[in-house]
Amino acid sequence: MSSSKKKLPAPPAINPYIFTILLAFFGVWCFYDGWLTDDPEMLEHALFNQVLSIVLLPWSIYDFYKLRKASREKNESLHDTQTKQEIDPRQGKEESLRDDQ
């Protein structure tokens, strides 16, 4: 029975910036509707859109930099885990260099 069970493939990964892009898009939309539009039908919703634009645009900027920092740290940790061989002239042995932080 265990041989009949096959490993399922991992679900497709989505871009981690999708949420950030949606926040920015919705923030720009709310900014336009709250601050720039002259449509009389939208004026009754202007305060709502102004508040949302003030919240969503900085949130998307914060999320972008947070994701970028996490991505860089992940790349650096992958780079650091790769072993680099160097011969130590004092001992004549190969040692792997790793930065312990």
88 found inside a domain: no
Across the range 36-49, mean pLDDT stands at 93
6 found inside a domain: no
> Domain span at residue 57?
15-73
Express as a percent the part of the chain with pLDDT over 70. 74
> What is the residue whose two structure tokens read 């898009």?
25
The per-residue pLDDT for range 12-35, each reduced to its tens digit, is 688 889 999 999 999 999 999 999
pTM: 0.66
101 found inside a domain: no
Q: Residue 16: which of 91, 69, 77 has the closest Cα?
A: 69
The secondary structure of 28-83 as a DSSP string is HHHHIIIII---TTTGGGHHHHHHHHHHHHHHHHHHHHHHHHHHHHHHHHHHHHS-
Look at the chain and report how many structural domains it folds into.
Answer: 1
78 found inside a domain: no
20 found inside a domain: yes
**Looking at the predicted structure, is the pLDDT value of residue 54 above 80?**
yes
Look up residue 5 and give its DSSP letter.
Answer: -
